[in-house]
Amino acid sequence: EFAERRMSEGMPKQEAFALAAKRMAGPVIAATMTRIAAFSPLLFWPGIIGDFMKYMPITLIVTLSASMLYALVFAPTLGAIFAKAPQHHEDGNRDGWYMAVVKQAVRFPITVMVLTVVLLAGIFVGYSKYGAGVEFFPSVEPDYGLLYVHARGNLSLAEMDTATKIAENRLLGWPGVKSVYTRVGKSDGGGQDVPEDVVG
């Protein structure tokens, strides 16, 4: 829009778009980096949920970066090549009701700010009273694991028990493991196929 206005004033289109890109570089970069900074912490989300959700901030960061590059480089370049000076037509009703609302809002800024705050507070109050609550993501962190103890040979029940206890003691030394439940002998594996050499 700035470039088109300069072109309508007689400035060459190459200079108009170069000046527009230079003038808008600061706001565009600031707005883009603010959004990137807001979503960057999601890249360091731990756990399974973090592994699943990290693609959202990656996609957003790449998209915003590409949008900034387009706004600062490609759009001015294409405009300098293909743009034409706009033809102005006298049309007082072109902006219609939108400009009428904007003019009224500018005339009463305090009223508009108060109404905005009241509306925002009403949204929070209404949601807290009538909403269904907040659950960002269900808890899907694993809370148990299944470990097979393998051994070869025709072992007695006591030998199987000894091998299972060794594995149990090692597991209890791992951080995050609070309790261990063991079974000696070949189990059903929770409906899964269990190897023949499983002893616990």
Supply the range of the domain harboring residue 197. Answer: 144-200
Question: Which of the 8 DSSP states describes residue 25?
Answer: H
Asked if residue 194 belongs to a domain, the reply is yes
Number of domains comprising the chain: 2
Task: Convert the pLDDT of each residue in 57-98 to its tens digit.
Answer: 899 999 999 998 888 888 888 877 776 765 655 555 556 787
Q: What are phi and psi of 150, to 5 degrees?
A: -105, 145
Asked if residue 160 belongs to a domain, the reply is yes
Task: Convert the pLDDT of each residue in 91-119 to its tens digit.
Answer: 555 567 878 888 888 888 899 899 999 99
- Domain end (from 56, 90, 110): 110
Query: Strand, coil or helix: what is 150?
Result: strand
Rounded to an integer, what distance in angstroms lies between the CA atom of residue 65 and that of residue 72?
Answer: 11
CATH number of the domain to which 20 belongs? 1.20.1640.10
Query: Strand, coil or helix: what is 94?
Result: coil
Considering the domain architecture, whether residues 8 and 99 belong to the same structural domain is answered as: yes
Phi and psi based region of residue 47 (left: phi greater than 0; alpha: psi -120 to 50; beta: remaining): left
Cβ neighbours, 10 Å, residue 118: 10
Asked if residue 93 belongs to a domain, the reply is yes
